[in-house]
Amino acid sequence: MEITMENPKKKDVVLDSIVDTSLKKTPKIETKNIKVWYEEFNAIKGISMSIKPNTVTAFIGPSGCGKSTFLRLFNRMNDYVDGFSLEGKIKINGQNIYKKNVNVEELRKEVGMVFQKPNPFPKSIFDNVAYGLKIQGIKDKQLINDRVISSLKQVGLWEEVKDDLKKSGLALSGGQQQRLCIARTLAVEPSIILMDEPTSALDPISTAKIEELIFQLKQKYTIVIVTHNMQQASRISDYTAFFYLGELIEFNKTKNIFTNPEKKQTENYITGRFG
Amino acid sequence: MRKIKELIIEKTLMTSALITIAVTLGIILVLSIEAIQFFSEVSIFDFLTDTQWTPLFTEKHFGILPLLSGTLLTSFIAISVALPIGLTISIYLSEYAPKAFRKAVKPLLELLASIPTVVYGFFALVVVTPFLQGFFPDLAGFNSLSAGIVMGIMIIPYISSISEDALHAVPASLREASYGMGATKLQTAFKVIVPAASSGIIVSIILAISRAIGETMIVAIAAGQQPRLTLDPTVPVETITAYIVQVSLGDVQHGSLEYRTIFAAGITLFTFTFLLNTLSYRIRKKYQEKYE
Ligand SMILES: Nc1ncnc2c1ncn2[C@@H]1O[C@H](COP(=O)(O)OP(=O)(O)OP(=O)(O)O)[C@@H](O)[C@H]1O
Ligand SMILES: [Mg+2]
C-alpha cells in the first residue's frame, strides 16, 4: 500500500504489465442488485455494476430513467428524500456504505459531488473552497491556505481569481462558478467525484474547460458523470452505462458503446432515434 | 361596458390608496402640530436631557428619558426572551422538523401573536410576577421583568415565522452542496443557511423590536405607571405607550400643556418605530436584489 502511495505510476505500470486482476482493477464502486423506490414508485430495478478506480464513467439515458437517483446513492444524497427506500448492496473501497454504523459525513469526504447548477455558497471565493476543511475542524491557516490555492490551481481558476479571493463566489461567471464548485470538492481530497450534468448549464467554452479538467482529474480521482450530451460522453469517458426505465441496459467501454453497441436500445438512443 | 367596469375598479382602488395615505398624513400632521405647540413651551433640550417626567405634578418636569428608558428596558427584556427562542424554533422548523409538523406548528405559533394583549398583561401581572416573586422576593408587584418576559413570548412568532420564511427560502442547492461536502445538519444550518438568510432574520428582529416598543397593554398593566430612569428590571417603570394611555384615560384638560405631553411622547415613539421600519424596508430591498 505504502509503495503505491509513494510511487503510484511505477507500481501501476508494473501491475498492469503482470496481471489483469491487479490492484488497479479492484472495483472502486460496486453495486449488487440495487433497487430503489420513491414511495411505491420503483425507480431503479436491480442494477449491478462495478466501477474501476481512476476511470471516468458516463451515465447516459433518457430523462427520468434513474441516472441521478443511481448516482446519488454513492454519497447517500437520497437519504433526505421523503419516501426513499433501497434494497441491495453498495460497496465503496470494499465497504458497504449503507451499513448501520457508517458515518455519512466521512463517506461524503471520500465521495465528492458536483451538481447540475453551479451552487457556490454566498461566501467569498476563499471561504467557498475552505469550507470543507473548516467544517472538519481544521484550524491550521497555512494548510487551509495551501489547499485553497492548490485546488484553485487544479481547476484552472487560480490565475483568474488570485487577486480577488475575497470577492463573493456568486460574482463569478457560470463557468467559473462551476469550476469553483469543483475546486471546493477537490479541497477535501475525495477519491471519487460524482458529477450530475455538470456542464448542462454552461456555455460551450466553459464546457470545454471542464471537460479538459475532468480528463486531467482522472489521474487522481475516480469520476462518475451523468450527461445528456453524447459527444461529451464519448470524448471524456472510459466507460459508459446506458440506463433505461430504471434498468442498466448496457455497460461497457465507451469505445464499444459508441461504435458497436450490443443492444438495439442503446444504438437507438445514441444515434438519437429516441429519448 | 367592460371598459367602464375596469375604470370603476381602477378608481376605487386608487381612492382606497389615497385615503390610506391621507389618513397617515393626517395623523402625522396632528401629531406634529400638537408637538410643535408643546415644544414652544418646553425646550427640546430639557425634553431630551431632564431626568424626570412629572407633567401631572405641581413641580413639573418634562424629561422624556425616564419613559424612554422604561420603553427600551421592557423591549430589551422582550427581545432577550424572543430572540433565542424564536431563532431556535425557526431553525428547528426549517431544517429539522418533518414537513407535516412544520405545516401544523407554524400557524399555531402565529396564534401567539393574535391573543389579545390585555390577556397577556393580566397573565404577566397575576401569574408571572407572583411566580417570579417566589425566586426574587424583592420583585415589586409592578415591574419591567414580568412585562418584558411576557411581551417576549408575544413577539416570538414575529421572529420565528419571518426567520423561518427566510431560512426556508434559501435554495435547496446550498443545503445539498454543504451536505455533499460532509457537513452535518447543524454545521449546514449555522454555517450556510443562517448566514444566507441573515438579512431576513435581521428584518424579523427589527420588526419584533418595533412591535415591542409600540406595545401598550402589557406594559400598562404589568410594568406600572411610575416614570423612572433606571435599568433595574425589578421595580415599577412607565413606558411611553403606557403614559399615553394613562393621560388619555385621565381627566386632563384638552388643549392644556399636560395634554400635549402625549403628543410629544407620541412623536418620540413614532420616530423610533419609523426609523426601525425604514431600516427593515431597506434591508429587505437589498436582500431581494441579492436573490434576483
Ligand atoms: N424525490 C423524488 N420523489 C419521487 N420520485 C422521484 C424523485 N426523484 C426522482 N423521482 C422519479 O424517479 C425517476 C428517476 O429520476 P431521476 O431524477 O433519477 O432521473 P434522471 O435519469 O436523472 O433524469 P434527468 O435526465 O431528467 O435528470 C423519475 O421517474 C422521477 O420522476
Ligand atoms: Mg438527473
> For A212-254, where are the E strands, in sequence order?
222-226, 239-244, 247-253
**Residues of B with Cβ-Cβ distance to A122 under 8 angstroms:** 174, 195-196, 290
A19 phi/psi in degrees, rounded to 5 = -130, 155
Its ipTM equals 0.86
Cell numbers found for residue A203: 456555455
pLDDT at residue number A19 = 41
- Residue A141: pLDDT band (50, 70, 90) is very high
| Substitution site in A34, A59, A67 for ligand 1 pocket (most atoms within 8 Å of beta carbon) | A67
Taking the Cβ of residue A217 and every Cβ of chain B, the question of whether any pair is shorter than 8 Å is answered with no
Whether the CB-CB separation of B209 and B79 falls below 8 Å is answered with yes
A68 CA to centre of own chain: 11
Q: Which helix (H) or strand (E) holds B107?
A: helix B99-111
Q: What is the DSSP letter of B95?
A: I
pLDDT tens sequence across B213-265: 999 999 999 999 999 999 999 999 999 999 999 998 888 888 899 999 999 99
Least confident of A14-18, B61-65, B88-92: A14-18
Cβ-proximal residues to A7 (8 Å cutoff; 6+ apart), any chain: none
Indicate which ligand has the atom closest to the C-alpha of A66.
1
Cell numbers found for residue B161: 415565522
Closest ligand 1 atom to the C-alpha of A39? 4
Whether the CB-CB separation of A251 and A68 falls below 8 Å is answered with no
What CA–CA distance (Å, rounded) separates B269 from B263?
10
Indicate which ligand has the atom closest to the C-alpha of A70.
1
pLDDT tens sequence across A235-275: 999 999 999 999 999 999 999 999 999 999 999 999 887 64
- pTM of the full structure: 0.83
What CA–CA distance (Å, rounded) separates A51 from A31?
9
Parallel/antiparallel/unpaired status of strands A29-38 and A84-92? antiparallel
The label of the residue with cell 471537460 reads A211
Residue range A199-222: average pLDDT?
Answer: 91
Whether the CB-CB separation of A105 and B183 falls below 8 Å is answered with yes
User: Per-residue b/e over B139-171, b at no fewer than 16 CB within 10 Å?
Assistant: bbebbbbbbbbbbbbbbbbbbbbbbbbbbbebe
Could you tell me which residues are beta bridge partners of residue A45?
A: A35
Could you tell me which residues are beta bridge partners of residue A91?
A: A30, A96
pLDDT tens sequence across B36-57: 999 999 999 999 999 999 998 8
The label of the residue with cell 407572583 reads B130
CATH fold of A2-270? Rossmann fold (3.40.50)
What CA–CA distance (Å, rounded) separates B152 from B155?
5
Tell me the residue type at A135: I
Pick from B182, B184, B290: which is nearest to A132 by CB? B182
Q: How far is the CA of A48 from the centre of ligand 2 (A)?
A: 19
Q: Kindly state if the Cβ of A38 falls inside 6 Å of ligand 1.
A: yes
pLDDT tens sequence across A47-64: 999 999 999 999 999 999
pLDDT at residue number A274 = 61
